[in-house]
Amino acid sequence: MFRLNKKNTFRPQKKFNKGSKKYSLHKQAKGTLGSGNLKLAVQLPEEEDLNQWLSIFVIDFTNKLNMIYASIQSVCTSKSCPVMNAGPKFEYHWSEKKSRKPKRLSAPDYIEKLLTWVDTQINDENIFPSDPESPYPRGFKNKIVSPIFKRLFRIFGHVYYSHFSTIREMGAEAHLNTLFKHFVYFTHEFGLIDEKELQPMKLLIKKLCDLD
């Protein structure tokens, strides 16, 4: 089993308040995950709110990817990874609404911006309300959740293509593969990532995941 050096933790994890509806849903999701059936673990429980279900998985996958990235942060530098990519054919540039032209960034700079961007939204009560009585923004799934998962997928792509040998040396290969499978099943279940965005990892997805 691999151990994370806590000194490298990228940022504090977002947690659910005990007693809250999201906390209960998160515990339920973890319990189902414990069965080993990843396809079942991602399915929306009967009579539960889709937006709340999506929101707890945004937070959960972000937390876990934070830990994965923290574990290889020392080898993912602007020198070793001058561009954010998932192999030689897929390079990602950072885009913001206020900037017309996407910026070419090193992988660590790109990932830092990406995780900060996700973190900002998660902590915005108008986007991810903690009060179960507060409404989610209109178009939450397509306008908020889908873009987040599309960008989180790029972290997986970079880790697999550029740092898998480090992950393997740490003994974290099985952990990463399970997390990636869980992520793919979830995004597939709710149609969160376009097929073209999955191309960099198409062969691995075919190898690891049994998709309908």
pLDDT tens sequence across 165-187 = 999 999 999 999 999 999 999 99
78 or 96: whose pLDDT is higher? Answer: 78
Domain presence at residue 4: no
pLDDT at 120 over 50: yes
State the pLDDT at residue 99: 64
User: What CATH number should be reported for the domain holding residue 109?
Assistant: 1.20.140.30
**Which letter does DSSP use for residue 88 in this model?**
T
**Max avg pLDDT among 1-15, 20-34, 136-150:** 136-150
Start-to-end CA span in the chain (Å): 31
Domain presence at residue 44: yes
What pTM was estimated for this model as a whole?
A: 0.85
How many structural domains are present in the chain? 1
Report residue 97's pLDDT band, with 50, 70 and 90 as the boundaries: confident
Q: Count the residues in the chain.
A: 212
Domain presence at residue 203: yes
Sign of the dihedral defined by the CA atoms of residues 178, 179, 184, 189, in that order: positive
**Which letter does DSSP use for residue 85 in this model?**
E
CA 94, distance to chain mean position in Å, is 17
State the pLDDT at residue 10: 47
pLDDT at 11 over 80: no
Q: Helical H runs in the chain?
A: 21-33, 38-41, 50-72, 107-122, 146-169, 173-189, 202-208
Range(s) of the domain holding residue 74: 18-208
Domain presence at residue 167: yes
Q: Kindly calculate the radius of gyration of the chain based on its CA atoms and give it in whole angstroms.
A: 17
Residues 114, 121 contacting (CB under 8 angstroms):
no
